[in-house]
Amino acid sequence: MKPYANRHGDRDVIPFEVVEMISSLTLVVRDMICDLDSSFKPHLFMAQCLNNDDQSWAITPDPEGLSFRIRYLKSGRWKDATGNYYELADEPKRWHQFGLL
């Protein structure tokens, strides 16, 4: 089992730490603290960020973070009770789509 679950949304990827394996189909994940490198400044041009790939995040575990369950579906994906999808990973990943589109 991989130690991290990254939630993939429309404009973001948000990391979570896997803290417990209930069964082969159910995991408990917990929030992580993500801080954007202060040297990163988005360069916007016509509602598009030209340097999105230059993002650098400091990601650390949050022992007091919110914990919840995700479940493995027949489709081969992990999903929480609110409908968000997750991908298990060896490394946590945080990414944000800067810009309006």
**Extended strands (E) in the chain:** 4-8, 12-23, 26-36, 44-45, 48-49, 57-61, 67-72, 78-80, 85-89, 95-96
pLDDT band at 100 (very low <50, low <70, confident <90, very high): low
Interior CA angle at 14 toward 50 and 28, to 5°? 170
Look at the alpha carbons of 40, 3, 64, 77 in this order and tell me if their dihedral is positive or negative.
Answer: positive
pLDDT band at 15 (very low <50, low <70, confident <90, very high): very high
pLDDT tens string 38-73: 888 777 777 777 787 788 899 999 999 999 999 999
pLDDT at 32: 98
In the Cβ-directed half-sphere of 27, how many Cα atoms lie within 13 Å?
22
pLDDT at 42: 78
pLDDT at 41: 79
Is residue 88 within 8 Å of residue 25, measured between CB atoms?
A: no
pLDDT tens string 64-76: 999 999 999 999 9
The domain limits of the chain are 4-96
pLDDT band at 91 (very low <50, low <70, confident <90, very high): very high
pTM summary value: 0.88
DSSP secondary structure string for all residues of 55-68: --EEEEE-TTS-EE
25 three-class SS: coil
